[in-house]
C-alpha cells in the first residue's frame, strides 16, 4: 500500500489551493478586462454648483453600472464649459443658462432632460442696514451684486418687471457669488441676487433673504445635454444617462443625507447650509421625468409652455440687459430638445410594472 507523509499531504493541499486561487484571480482579471472594455469613456462638464443628483451618481458608481465611464471637469462658470463644447473636448454637460448661450452660439447640442430646477433656491439677499424689505424696494439699493449671463441676472430682470422698474435704472455690479460675502462686509453692495448655496450661506452670515423665486416666478433650469455628433456616434448613451439620473434620484429619495453630504463635500459648505439648499430644491419642486413629459407641466419638454417658454423668457431678459445680442427664437429652442430618451425610459418603466 502506498503511504503519504503528513508533509506531502499538506504540500498537495497547498498546491490545490494555490491553483484554485490562481484560477480565480485569472478569471477576475479576465472579467475586469472585459468589463473595462465595455465602459464608454467620455468627457463630462458641469459648473461647481448644487447639482446633488450628479454628485451622488458619480460617487455611488452608478455611471459604471450602466456601462459609462465619464471623466468629470468642474468649472467655475458656464463660459469655459461653452468653450469645451465648441472645441468638442466635452461630450456631455449639465448646466444652467449656459445651455441657452450654447444654442445662441450655434453649438450643435441636444438638451435631453432636466437635472433639476435651481430657481426655488434662488433669491434676493440684502444687508441688515439696506432698508430693503422686498424686490419692490430695489430702487433703494445703492449697489446690487449680480453675475452677468446667469440665472441671477434673469431673476433680477423678472423682479424689475414686477416692480415696474427698468434694468438700466439700477446700479448693478457684475460680481461672482463667492465674492458676495466680502462685498457685503465692505459695503460695496447692499443687495445681491444669487442661488444656492451662496444665498443660504449669506443668510447664515447675518444677511437677510427677502425674496425667493416664488415671489417673482424665477427661471433657472438645469439641463443635461450632449453634443449632437456625440449622440449620433453613441445612440444608446442618452437613455443610459436618464437611467443613471433616475437611480440617483431614487437613492436620494430613500436617503436624503446622501444629497446633503454630497453638497457639503463638493461645495465646502456647512451641513446646515447644505440641508437648507436641499430642502429648497427637493421634493414637490423637483422636475420628475413624469412632469417633464406632461404637456401641462412647467417642466415640460414636449410643449411650448415648459422649458421652451422658460428659455425664451430668460434670453429676452438677457438681451434686454445687453448680455446677449438677441433672444433665442422658440423654434430654435424647440429644435434643440430631444425628449426621446425620457420617453423611452418611462415606457420601459411602465412595461416593467
Q: How far apart are the two ends of the chain, measured CA to CA in Å? A: 67
Q: Cell numbers of 314, please?
A: 430668460
Q: Angle 257-267/52-59 helices, nearest 10 degrees?
A: 90
Q: What is the pLDDT of residue 335?
A: 97
Q: What is the pLDDT of residue 136?
A: 96
What is the layout of strands, in order, in the sheet containing 221-227? 68-75, 40-47, 92-95, 221-227, 109-117
Taking alpha carbons only, the member of 35, 57, 60, 25 closest to residue 44 is 57
- Which contiguous run of DSSP H or E holds residue 102? helix 98-104
Contact 298, 306 (CB under 8 A): yes
The per-residue pLDDT for range 54-108, each reduced to its tens digit, is 999 999 999 999 999 999 999 987 778 999 999 999 999 999 999 999 999 999 9
State the Cα–Cα distance between residues 318 and 282, nearest whole angstrom.
27
Cα–Cα distance list, 285 to 93, 195, 273, 339 (Å): 22, 15, 18, 20
Taking alpha carbons only, the member of 203, 233, 42, 22 closest to residue 123 is 203
Q: What is the pLDDT of residue 23?
A: 46
Cell 444665498 sits on residue: 199
Four-residue CA torsion sign, 169, 171, 175, 178: negative
Q: What is the pLDDT of residue 183?
A: 97
Q: What is the pLDDT of residue 295?
A: 97
Domains of the chain: 39-118+220-352 (3.40.190.10), 121-215 (3.40.190.10)
Q: What are phi and psi of 122, to 5 degrees?
A: -110, 150
Taking alpha carbons only, the member of 98, 168, 143, 192 closest to residue 322 is 168
Taking alpha carbons only, the member of 115, 117, 110 closest to residue 56 is 115
Neighbours of 65 (CB within 10 A): 13
Q: What are phi and psi of 186, to 5 degrees?
A: -85, 0
Which stretches of the chain drop beneath a pLDDT of 50? 1-15, 17-36
Burial grade of 332 (CB within 10 A; 0-12, 13-18, 19 or more): middle
Amino acid at each position: 500500500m502506498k503511504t503519504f507523509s503528513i508533509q506531502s499531504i499538506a504540500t498537495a493541499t497547498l498546491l490545490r489551493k494555490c491553483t484554485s486561487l490562481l484560477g480565480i484571480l485569472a478569471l477576475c482579471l479576465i472579467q475586469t478586462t472585459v468589463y473595462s472594455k465595455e465602459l464608454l469613456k467620455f468627457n463630462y462638464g458641469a459648473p461647481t454648483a448644487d447639482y446633488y443628483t450628479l454628485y451622488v451618481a458619480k460617487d455611488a458608481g452608478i455611471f459604471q453600472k450602466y456601462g459609462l465611464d465619464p471623466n468629470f471637469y468642474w468649472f467655475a462658470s458656464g463660459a469655459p464649459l461653452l468653450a469645451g463644447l465648441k472645441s468638442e473636448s466635452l461630450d456631455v454637460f449639465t448646466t444652467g443658462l449656459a445651455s441657452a448661450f450654447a444654442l445662441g452660439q450655434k453649438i450643435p447640442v441636444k438638451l435631453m432632460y432636466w437635472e433639476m430646477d435651481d430657481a426655488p433656491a434662488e433669491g434676493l439677499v440684502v444687508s441688515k442696514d439696506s432698508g430693503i424689505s422686498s424686490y419692490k424696494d430695489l430702487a433703494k439699493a445703492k449697489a446690487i451684486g449680480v453675475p452677468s449671463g446667469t440665472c441671477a441676472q434673469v431673476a433680477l430682470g423678472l423682479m424689475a418687471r414686477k416692480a415696474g422698474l427698468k434694468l438700466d435704472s439700477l446700479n448693478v455690479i457684475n460680481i461672482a457669488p463667492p465674492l458676495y460675502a466680502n462685498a457685503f462686509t465692505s459695503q460695496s453692495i447692499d443687495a445681491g441676487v444669487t442661488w444656492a448655496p451662496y444665498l443660504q450661506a449669506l443668510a447664515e452670515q447675518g444677511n437677510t433673504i427677502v425674496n425667493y423665486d416664488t415671489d417673482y416666478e424665477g427661471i433657472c433650469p438645469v439641463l443635461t445635454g450632449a453634443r449632437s455628433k456625440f449622440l449620433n456616434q453613441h445612440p444608446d448613451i442618452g437613455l443610459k444617462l436618464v437611467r443613471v439620473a433616475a437611480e440617483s434620484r431614487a437613492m436620494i429619495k430613500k436617503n436624503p443625507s446622501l444629497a446633503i453630504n454630497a453638497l457639503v463635500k463638493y461645495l465646502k459648505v456647512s451641513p446646515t447650509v447644505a440641508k437648507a439648499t436641499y430642502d429648497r430644491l427637493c421634493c414637490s419642486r423637483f422636475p420628475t421625468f413624469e412632469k417633464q413629459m406632461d404637456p401641462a407641466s412647467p417642466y415640460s419638454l414636449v410643449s411650448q409652455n415648459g422649458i421652451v417658454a422658460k428659455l425664451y423668457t430668460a434670453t429676452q431678459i438677457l438681451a434686454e440687459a445687453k448680455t446677449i445680442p438677441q433672444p433665442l427664437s422658440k423654434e430654435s429652442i424647440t429644435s434643440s430638445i430631444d425628449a426621446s430618451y425620457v420617453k423611452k425610459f418611462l415606457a420601459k418603466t411602465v412595461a416593467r410594472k
